[in-house]
């Protein structure tokens, strides 16, 4: 599962768009969860949003990785369609 952590600000939406584009470029039909609950975000160790996680493991926080960077992270993790 791919996860976007953030309250829905423009930067969070940009990250969400990049994650969706990366998944689409890999022809990956998987769940993308948007987490806006501050308590849940901080419990995952994130203090600066937006953040991107794969299966609950935070990969990036406080910046917006490119579509290519996200695609590489997804491939490295071996994420498969749900």
54: containing domain: 2-77
- Whether 50 is covered by a domain: the verdict is yes
Q: Taking the model in full, what pTM does it have?
A: 0.90
* Token representation of residue 19: 């994650």
- In-domain check, residue 15: yes
| Contact predicate 19/2, CB 8 Å | yes
Q: Tell me, what CATH number does 65's domain have?
A: 3.40.30.10
Q: How many angstroms separate the Cα of 12 from the Cα of each of 6, 65, 77, 80?
A: 6, 11, 22, 24
The DSSP element (H or E) to which 58 belongs, if any, is: strand 57-61
Classify residue 82: in a domain, yes or no.
no
* Catalytic (active site) residue 30: no
Count the domains in the chain. Answer: 1
2, 4, 5, 12: the active-site residue = 12
- Classify residue 55: in a domain, yes or no: yes
Selecting among 1, 9, 32, 38, the annotated active-site residue is 9
Confidence of residue 80 (pLDDT cuts 50, 70, 90): low
Total residues belonging to the chain? 82
* pLDDT grade for 30, boundaries at 50, 70 and 90: confident
């Amino acid at each position: 599962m791919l996860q976007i952590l953030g309250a829905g600000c423009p930067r969070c939406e940009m990250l969400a768009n990049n994650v969706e584009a990366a998944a689409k470029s890999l022809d990956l039909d998987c769940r993308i969860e948007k987490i806006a609950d501050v308590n849940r975000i901080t419990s995952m160790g994130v203090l600066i949003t937006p953040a991107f996680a794969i299966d609950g493991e935070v990969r990036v926080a406080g910046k917006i990785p490119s579509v290519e960077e996200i695609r590489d992270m997804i491939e490295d993790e071996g994420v498969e369609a749900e």
